Amino acid sequence: EDTTTPRRIKLLDQDVVNKIAAGEIIVAPVHALKELIENAVDAGSTSLEVLVKDGGLKLLQITDNGCGIDKDDLPILCERFTTSKLQKFEDLQSIATYGFRGEALASISHIAHLTVTTKTRESNCAWRAYYESGKLAPTKPGQSPDPKPVAGRQGTQITVEDLFYNVPTRRRAFRSTSDEYNKIIDMVGRYAIHCSNVAFSCKKHGESSTSIAVQANASCLDRIRQIYGASVANELTEFATSDDRWAFRAKGLATNANYSTKKTTILLFINHRCVESSNIRKAIEQTYSSFLPKNGHPFVYLSLEIDPHRVDVNVHPTKREVNFLNEDEIIQAICEHIRSKLASVDASRTFLTQS
């Protein structure tokens, strides 16, 4: 091969660019699902039903009872950067809803078959639309791509079929559909615990029993009991702390020193978005190390609200990484508070066993 003469540079097909971008946002079915859950919650839903086939690779369906989508918006729904949540760059700073970039549905439509059925309160019927690569498309060749009127209740049903059908390398990377299903249950469970007043269900297609089923009126503690079991729920301590200096408010439930397990579980929500933070994880593990036996780990549900101006959510397309101002101070304040809670529970326990 001749490496002395440069090869000419060419622009990639838009279609290829779109697929690459989509594949960066959605690496596994659970990432599509997370976006769909956030959209449903943003739409004010009080009920969310998730249906899954083959770990979400064959079918991922989420049905909500939220505000629905205006029929006139359906033609642009799945185009990139179409959103009802953001108007100008400054809005990024104060955005309170979860999604904000109008990329989720667009991405999904590039790497899966996407069907949307939706009804607003004002509309007297529901509308069904099918999408391919960001655009309305006919379900069969020769038919019209226009949305069709169908019977339906208020809310939105998003059906994602054959995820990665046109990205064979990605598709082949999935070894086990049950691993993917477990990730989906984990994510639905996290949102089910965080979103009070919202009912959640999740089940495999063709099975009558649900993997997750929580009622809208279930308390946070009840939700944890149903999803993580009584052994966790029975040993939880509530906590809440805030500091105006760093403009944050934190609350949650953390296991006390009676509980210890092999692996730390942290359900972390920052401004109501499920995120990961290795800094918070490390600090929490450090906090518990003086209360738990060696190799013992806690369960912590932490909802952290920070002044949106101080959070940078725009760091990575996956939006899983979140950075915020005064991170060290805020983490320290939260862990100090949890430490004092653990110490007081521990003291009363010692007192009880002594008396």
Cα distance between residue 29 and residue 32, in whole Å: 5
102 forms part of the interface with ligand ADP (CB under 6 A): yes
Selection from ligand ADP, Mg ion, none that 218 binds (CB < 5 to 8 A by kind) is none
Selection from ligand ADP, Mg ion, none that 248 binds (CB < 5 to 8 A by kind) is none
Selection from Mg ion, ligand ADP, none that 288 binds (CB < 5 to 8 A by kind) is none
Among 30, 33, 104, 112, binds ligand ADP (CB under 6 A): 104
Q: Which residues pair with 203 in a beta bridge?
A: 51
For 228, 255, 256, 296, 349, the CA distances from 234, given in Å and listed in that order, are: 11, 9, 10, 17, 14
Q: Which residues pair with 322 in a beta bridge?
A: none
Closest contact distance (angstroms) between CB of 105 and ligand ADP is 4
Among 53, 58, 85, 320, binds ligand ADP (CB under 6 A): 85
Cα distance between residue 187 and residue 164, in whole Å: 20
147 forms part of the interface with ligand ADP (CB under 6 A): no
Residue whose CB is less far from ligand ADP, 110 or 297: 110
**Burial letters for 265-302: b for 16+ Cβ neighbours within 10 Å, e otherwise?**
ebbbbbbbbbbebeebeebbbebbeebbeeeebbbbbb
The alpha carbons of the chain give a radius of gyration, in whole angstroms, of 23
Long-range contacts of 101-105 (CB under 8 A, 24+ apart): 103/21, 103/25, 103/317, 104/25, 104/32, 104/35, 104/36, 104/38, 104/39, 105/35, 105/39, 105/77, 105/78, 105/131, 105/158
Q: Which stretch binds ligand ADP (CB under 6 A): 104-112, 140-148, 276-284, 288-296?
A: 104-112
Residue whose CB is less far from ligand ADP, 56 or 252: 56
- Please answer whether residues 136 and 146 qualify as being in contact, where contact means their C-beta atoms are separated by less than 8 angstroms: yes
Residue whose CB is less far from ligand ADP, 35 or 180: 35
Cα distance between residue 184 and residue 187, in whole Å: 5
109 forms part of the interface with Mg ion (CB under 5 A): no
331 forms part of the interface with ligand ADP (CB under 6 A): no
280 forms part of the interface with ligand ADP (CB under 6 A): no
Closest contact distance (angstroms) between CB of 97 and ligand ADP is 7
Site string for ligand ADP, 34-73 (x = CB under 6 A): -x---xx--x--------------------x-xxxx----
Tokens of 323: 């950075």
Binding-site size, ligand ADP (CB under 6 A): 23
Selection from Mg ion, ligand ADP, none that 189 binds (CB < 5 to 8 A by kind) is none
68 forms part of the interface with Mg ion (CB under 5 A): no
Closest contact distance (angstroms) between CB of 102 and Mg ion is 7
Residue whose CB is less far from Mg ion, 43 or 257: 43
Among 56, 66, 99, 152, binds Mg ion (CB under 5 A): 99
Closest contact distance (angstroms) between CB of 44 and ligand ADP is 8
Closest contact distance (angstroms) between CB of 73 and ligand ADP is 7
Among 23, 53, 79, 84, binds ligand ADP (CB under 6 A): 84
66 forms part of the interface with Mg ion (CB under 5 A): no
Cα distance between residue 184 and residue 28, in whole Å: 10
Closest contact distance (angstroms) between CB of 157 and ligand ADP is 8
What are the residues binding Mg ion (CB under 5 A)?
Answer: 39, 99, 104
What are the residues binding ligand ADP (CB under 6 A)?
Answer: 35, 39-40, 43, 64, 66-69, 77, 82-85, 99-106, 156
